[in-house]
Amino acid sequence: MAKDDGAFLTIGELAQQLGVAQHILRYWETRFPQLRPLQRSGNRRYYRPRDVDVAQQINRLLNDEGFTVRGAQRVLAGRKDGAAPVLVESPPEPAPEASTAATSSGPQAMLPMGDLPVSKPVKSGSPPVAQSDLALLIARLTVIRQNLVDALDRD
């Protein structure tokens, strides 16, 4: 007997749905403030549909996308409800002049810093699935780009 889409799930049901162990969900609760299930008598956890969505997103970031816990925390920190940030593209910034690019040398010259469109959060309704995936990819690339810049600055 399957539950309705809006029904609360126990930790065992959610763990089975995600394909992770129950202790993993309890660990995620300590690391992701967006994941806060209801706790009833005996500390029994009940995951609301919103909590299920957050847990699915955490699972996708960690197990499918390969994020670290810290990286996934950064992605989820953009929105208090844990949903992926909704992004819209603004006009691209002008590309650096050829003379500036030609004078640069080393690995930093290969990092295009101004030719990507800048994305701004939108505060309206739910994004379509494709937009959510795009937001995750942009967030992941932003983290990778920052890690590269930090590594190059250390050298």
Q: Where are the domains positioned within the chain?
A: 1-66, 84-155
Instruction: Check pLDDT > 80 for residue 58.
Output: yes
pTM score, two decimals? 0.51
- At 141 the pLDDT is 85
Average pLDDT for residues 34-38, to the nearest whole number?
A: 92
For the ranges 17-31, 70-84, 103-117, 132-146, the one whose mean pLDDT is highest: 17-31
Alpha-carbon span 50 to 66, nearest angstrom: 23
- CATH 1.10.1660.10 holds for 1-66: yes
Instruction: Check pLDDT > 70 for residue 37.
Output: yes
In contact, 121 and 87? CB cutoff 8 Å: yes
Q: How confident is the model at residue 26 (pLDDT cuts 50, 70, 90)?
A: very high
* Helix then strand then coil, % of the chain, to nearest 5: 50, 10, 40
Alpha-carbon span 122 to 124, nearest angstrom: 6
Least confident of 47-61, 85-99, 109-123: 85-99
Instruction: Check pLDDT > 50 for residue 89.
Output: no
Instruction: Check pLDDT > 80 for residue 52.
Output: yes
Least confident of 13-17, 64-68, 70-74, 90-94: 90-94
Instruction: Check pLDDT > 90 for residue 116.
Output: no
Greater model confidence, 1 or 130: 130
Whole-number mean pLDDT of the chain?
74
Residue 34 neighbours by CB distance under 10 Å: 21
